[in-house]
Amino acid sequence: MAKNNNGIMIIAIIAGLLLLISGISGVATWETIQDFVKTYVIENYFIEIIFAILIFIASLGGISIIIGGMLLGKKKITTGKFLIMLGSGLGLIGLIFSIIVAIFEGSLTLGSYFSIGGIGLILSIIVRILAKKD
Protein backbone atom coordinates (compact mmCIF):
# COMPACT_ATOMS: atom_id res chain seq x y z
CA MET A 1 0.00 0.00 0.00
CA ALA A 2 1.44 3.36 -1.01
CA LYS A 3 2.04 5.77 1.86
CA ASN A 4 0.29 8.62 0.03
CA ASN A 5 -2.79 6.55 -0.75
CA ASN A 6 -2.88 5.08 2.76
CA GLY A 7 -3.61 8.51 4.24
CA ILE A 8 -6.10 9.24 1.48
CA MET A 9 -7.82 5.92 2.17
CA ILE A 10 -8.26 6.89 5.83
CA ILE A 11 -9.71 10.29 4.87
CA ALA A 12 -12.11 8.58 2.44
CA ILE A 13 -13.29 6.18 5.14
CA ILE A 14 -13.89 9.12 7.50
CA ALA A 15 -15.75 10.99 4.74
CA GLY A 16 -17.89 7.92 4.05
CA LEU A 17 -18.69 7.46 7.74
CA LEU A 18 -19.72 11.12 8.03
CA LEU A 19 -22.00 10.76 5.02
CA LEU A 20 -23.49 7.55 6.43
CA ILE A 21 -24.18 9.22 9.77
CA SER A 22 -25.86 12.18 8.06
CA GLY A 23 -27.76 10.07 5.52
CA ILE A 24 -26.46 12.01 2.51
CA SER A 25 -26.00 10.24 -0.82
CA GLY A 26 -25.44 11.27 -4.44
CA VAL A 27 -28.87 10.12 -5.66
CA ALA A 28 -30.45 13.55 -6.22
CA THR A 29 -27.63 14.71 -8.49
CA TRP A 30 -27.76 11.54 -10.59
CA GLU A 31 -31.57 11.69 -10.86
CA THR A 32 -31.32 15.30 -12.07
CA ILE A 33 -28.77 14.27 -14.71
CA GLN A 34 -30.99 11.35 -15.73
CA ASP A 35 -34.00 13.65 -16.14
CA PHE A 36 -31.92 16.07 -18.22
CA VAL A 37 -30.63 13.28 -20.50
CA LYS A 38 -34.12 11.82 -20.95
CA THR A 39 -35.62 15.22 -21.72
CA TYR A 40 -32.96 16.85 -23.89
CA VAL A 41 -30.64 14.14 -25.21
CA ILE A 42 -32.13 10.67 -25.63
CA GLU A 43 -34.73 8.46 -24.03
CA ASN A 44 -33.57 4.89 -24.46
CA TYR A 45 -34.05 1.66 -22.50
CA PHE A 46 -30.28 1.00 -22.44
CA ILE A 47 -29.62 4.50 -21.04
CA GLU A 48 -32.31 3.88 -18.40
CA ILE A 49 -30.51 0.71 -17.28
CA ILE A 50 -27.18 2.54 -17.04
CA PHE A 51 -28.74 5.28 -14.92
CA ALA A 52 -30.50 2.70 -12.72
CA ILE A 53 -27.11 1.13 -11.96
CA LEU A 54 -25.45 4.51 -11.33
CA ILE A 55 -28.30 5.64 -9.08
CA PHE A 56 -28.19 2.36 -7.13
CA ILE A 57 -24.45 2.78 -6.45
CA ALA A 58 -24.97 6.45 -5.58
CA SER A 59 -27.76 5.48 -3.16
CA LEU A 60 -25.15 3.68 -1.09
CA GLY A 61 -23.60 7.11 -0.45
CA GLY A 62 -21.05 6.73 2.32
CA ILE A 63 -20.67 3.00 1.71
CA SER A 64 -19.54 3.58 -1.88
CA ILE A 65 -17.09 6.23 -0.65
CA ILE A 66 -15.68 3.85 1.97
CA ILE A 67 -15.29 1.08 -0.63
CA GLY A 68 -13.76 3.60 -3.05
CA GLY A 69 -11.30 4.67 -0.35
CA MET A 70 -10.31 1.07 0.31
CA LEU A 71 -9.73 0.60 -3.42
CA LEU A 72 -7.50 3.69 -3.41
CA GLY A 73 -5.46 2.03 -0.67
CA LYS A 74 -5.16 -1.07 -2.89
CA LYS A 75 -3.86 1.10 -5.78
CA LYS A 76 -7.13 0.76 -7.73
CA ILE A 77 -7.17 4.52 -8.25
CA THR A 78 -9.55 4.86 -11.21
CA THR A 79 -12.18 2.51 -9.77
CA GLY A 80 -11.83 4.03 -6.30
CA LYS A 81 -12.24 7.59 -7.59
CA PHE A 82 -15.24 6.49 -9.69
CA LEU A 83 -17.03 4.99 -6.67
CA ILE A 84 -16.27 8.09 -4.61
CA MET A 85 -17.64 10.27 -7.42
CA LEU A 86 -20.87 8.24 -7.54
CA GLY A 87 -21.34 8.20 -3.77
CA SER A 88 -20.78 11.91 -3.38
CA GLY A 89 -23.02 12.96 -6.28
CA LEU A 90 -20.22 14.00 -8.63
CA GLY A 91 -18.31 15.69 -5.83
CA LEU A 92 -17.36 19.25 -6.68
CA ILE A 93 -19.85 19.54 -9.55
CA GLY A 94 -22.65 18.29 -7.31
CA LEU A 95 -21.60 20.66 -4.53
CA ILE A 96 -21.55 23.67 -6.88
CA PHE A 97 -24.88 22.60 -8.39
CA SER A 98 -26.50 22.30 -4.95
CA ILE A 99 -25.15 25.72 -3.91
CA ILE A 100 -26.56 27.33 -7.08
CA VAL A 101 -29.96 25.68 -6.52
CA ALA A 102 -29.92 26.82 -2.86
CA ILE A 103 -29.14 30.40 -3.93
CA PHE A 104 -32.05 30.43 -6.39
CA GLU A 105 -34.39 28.90 -3.79
CA GLY A 106 -33.21 31.37 -1.16
CA SER A 107 -32.27 28.54 1.18
CA LEU A 108 -28.48 28.87 1.20
CA THR A 109 -27.09 28.77 4.72
CA LEU A 110 -23.52 28.38 5.83
CA GLY A 111 -24.62 25.71 8.30
CA SER A 112 -25.78 23.43 5.48
CA TYR A 113 -22.24 23.07 4.20
CA PHE A 114 -20.54 22.73 7.58
CA SER A 115 -22.82 19.99 8.88
CA ILE A 116 -21.56 16.43 9.34
CA GLY A 117 -22.71 15.56 5.81
CA GLY A 118 -21.23 18.74 4.33
CA ILE A 119 -17.86 18.01 5.89
CA GLY A 120 -18.03 14.42 4.61
CA LEU A 121 -18.82 15.68 1.11
CA ILE A 122 -15.94 18.18 1.18
CA LEU A 123 -13.56 15.46 2.42
CA SER A 124 -14.67 13.14 -0.40
CA ILE A 125 -13.92 15.90 -2.93
CA ILE A 126 -10.47 16.41 -1.40
CA VAL A 127 -9.80 12.65 -1.57
CA ARG A 128 -10.65 12.52 -5.28
CA ILE A 129 -8.34 15.46 -5.98
CA LEU A 130 -5.41 14.06 -3.96
CA ALA A 131 -5.62 10.41 -5.10
CA LYS A 132 -2.80 9.71 -7.53
CA LYS A 133 -1.40 6.71 -9.30
CA ASP A 134 2.10 5.71 -8.27
pLDDT digits (tens, 9 = 90+) for 20-74: 888 777 777 778 778 888 888 888 889 889 888 888 887 888 899 999 999 999 9
Q: Are 87 and 26 in contact (CB under 8 A)?
A: yes
CB neighbourhood size of 106 (10 A):
6
What's the domain count of the chain?
1
Separation CA 8–CA 42 (nearest Å): 38
Separation CA 82–CA 101 (nearest Å): 24
pLDDT recorded at residue 23: 76
Task: Determine the structural domain holding residue 80 and report its residue range.
Answer: 3-130
Query: Is the pLDDT score of 93 beyond 80?
Result: no
Mean pLDDT of the chain: 82
Local confidence band at 76 (pLDDT 50, 70, 90 cut-offs) = very high
pLDDT recorded at residue 17: 92
Separation CA 28–CA 98 (nearest Å): 10
pTM of the model: 0.74
φ, ψ dihedrals at 97, nearest 5°? -60, -45
